[in-house]
Amino acid sequence: MDLGIRGKKALLVGASRGLGKACALALAQEGVDVTIVARRRDALEQAGAEIAAATGVKVTTAVGDITTKEGRAAAVAACPAPDILLNNADGPSPGDFRQWSRDDWLAALDAMMLGPIEMIRLTVDGMMARGFGRIVNIVSRSVKSPQPELGLSNGARSGLVGFVGGLARQTVARNVTINNLLPGIFDSDAQRQHVRGMLGASGKSFDQVWQARAAANPAKRYGRPAELGACCAFLCSQHAGYITGQNLLVDGGSYPGTY
C-alpha cells in the first residue's frame, strides 16, 4: 500500500531509540523527511545516520527535552511546519504512590501530558491551516489496563488521552487527526529498565522475569518496535484521515476485554 505521504515532513520527539526511532524509520521508509529529537546527542546522531543510510530521506536531528520550554522550542525550530508530529518521552519509574512527592507528579505530568500538549499547541494550527496533519502520541496500555506499580503513568497518561479525545474532534474537519498508540510489552531499553526495576526482593533473575512476561502474553513474545512503527506510519497516512481520537492497543492481545 502506498501511504501517500512521500515528501511530507515529520517531527518526532523521543526518537533516538526504541519505539520512537521505529516510528521515524517507518515514516522514512515511506519517503517522509524526518526530524528526530532526543536529549542525548550521541545516540540521536547515530540514529539519524542509520535512518538516512537505510532510506535516503532527509534526516534532521535536534537535541531537546520535551519537558522544557527550550527543548520544545528547539524541536519546532528544527522543523517549523511539520505535517506529522510524534510525541514520545520516558515513562515513569515503578513505585508506591505514598513515596511520590508533588515534584514527582509534576515531572510525570511534564513528560507524559503537558509536554505533549504543548507540542500539539505549537504545531496544530499550522497543520489545520495547511489542510493536513497527523499527530500520534505514544502512550501506554496503562490507560486502559492500569499497571499497579505504574501509578504515575496510569494518572498522567490518562490526562493526555482525555485531552486528546476532546481536541481530536475539533481538528479532523481540517484533515488533522490525533491518535494514541498504546504499547503493551515491547523489546526496548525502557522495557529492560522496567524489568530490572521489578526484580526487587523477588529473588528472581532478570531472565526469569523477562521470559515470564513474554510467556504471560497471548502472543508469547514481546512486541517488535518495527510493529509499532508500522502502526504509526499507517495512522499518519493519507488513508487514515477518518480515524481520530482513538487509542490503538498494540499489545499482542494482552488487554482482556472485548471492547
Ligand X SMILES: NC(=O)c1ccc[n+]([C@@H]2O[C@H](COP(=O)([O-])OP(=O)(O)OC[C@H]3O[C@@H](n4cnc5c(N)ncnc54)[C@H](OP(=O)(O)O)[C@@H]3O)[C@@H](O)[C@H]2O)c1
Using the rule CB under 6 A, which residue among 6, 40, 196, 224 binds ligand X? 40
User: Closer to ligand X at the Cβ: 7 or 197?
Assistant: 197
Least distance in angstroms from the C-beta of 145 to ligand X: 10
Among 61, 67, 123, 237, binds ligand X (CB under 6 A): 67
Is there binding between residue 19 and ligand X (CB under 6 A)? Answer: yes
Among 32, 167, 185, 231, binds ligand X (CB under 6 A): 185
Residue number with CB closer to ligand X (172 or 249) = 249
Number of Cβ within 10 Å of residue 205's Cβ equals 10
Alpha-carbon distance of 201 to 95, in angstroms, equals: 14
| CA dist list (Å): 67 to 31, 126, 179, 181 | 29, 22, 20, 20
Chain positions 71 to 130 lying near ligand X, rule: CB under 6 A, are 88-91, 111
> What is the C-alpha separation between 190 and 187, in angstroms, rounded?
8
**Size, binding site for ligand X by CB under 6 A:** 30
Cα–Cα distance for residue pair 251/149, rounded to 1 Å:
18
Q: Tell me: does residue 48 bind ligand X (CB under 6 A).
A: no
- The residues, ordered by sequence, that sit 6+ positions from 60 with a Cβ below 8 Å of its Cβ are 33, 34, 35, 36, 48, 78, 79
Shortest gap between Cβ of 237 and ligand X (angstroms)? 21
User: Is-contact 25 1, C-beta < 8 A?
Assistant: no
Is the Cβ of residue 111 or residue 176 nearer to ligand X in the bound state? 111
Please, what is the minimum distance in Å from the beta carbon of residue 36 to ligand X? 8
Q: Which of 157, 14, 156, 148 is nearest to 94 (CA)?
A: 148
Residue in this structure with the C-alpha cell 488513508, named with its chain if needed:
239
Tell me if 23 contacts ligand X by CB under 6 A. no
Give residues 188-217 in contact with ligand X (rule: CB under 6 A): 188-191
Question: Which residues are within 8 A (CB) of 102 and not within 5 positions of it... i.e. 6 or more apart?
Answer: none
From the list 17-25, 50-58, 76-84, 129-137, the region that binds ligand X by CB under 6 A is: 17-25
- Contact yes or no for 138/19 (Cβ under 8 A): yes
**Site residues (vs ligand X, CB under 6 A):** 13-20, 37-40, 43, 65-67, 88-91, 111, 138, 140, 183, 185-186, 188-191
